[in-house]
A = this chain, B = another copy of it.
């Protein structure tokens, strides 16, 4: 049996506090690069879902399931890259100062995104196309929750 077709369940144990400790030893430029990488990949897996939800691409249940699973992991990856030390990075970033001046609001935006992804993951296991498309739309909205307030407007 091809391992690519196996269903592999696993558990997430989130060591948020612990990873903060490790993160404190990482160079500011690396923190920025890593968080941008997570955003790039969120775009990779969210893009095709958004196209489906908007009727611009044909619905495909396998893609919904796979991309949702990838987003489940990716939705946990960017945030420790916004550690205060990352403000000193000498590389280009669209991160706005509000990230650090309004931490509660930034945290709330992250939480909303993660909750929406969890809801998508939950419905991605069933075969309800409409529920999946609604959940995809809800995730899309929460992307905006950060991008509106905490990222420089893109040209």
- Chain A interface (Cβ within 8 Å of chain B)? 3-16, 18-19, 22, 33-34, 36-38, 40-41, 44, 48, 57, 60, 62-63, 65-66, 69-70, 72-74, 76-77, 111, 114-115, 118, 121, 125
Contacts of A7 in B (CB 8 A): 11-13
What number of copies of this chain does the assembly contain?
2
Contacts of A22 in B (CB 8 A): 48, 57, 63
Nearest B residue to A8 by beta-carbon distance?
B12
Complexed CA–CA distance, A114 and B6 (Å) = 12
Q: Are A37 and B48 within 8 A (Cβ)?
A: no
Contacts of A121 in B (CB 8 A): 8, 10
Q: Are A40 and B44 within 8 A (Cβ)?
A: no
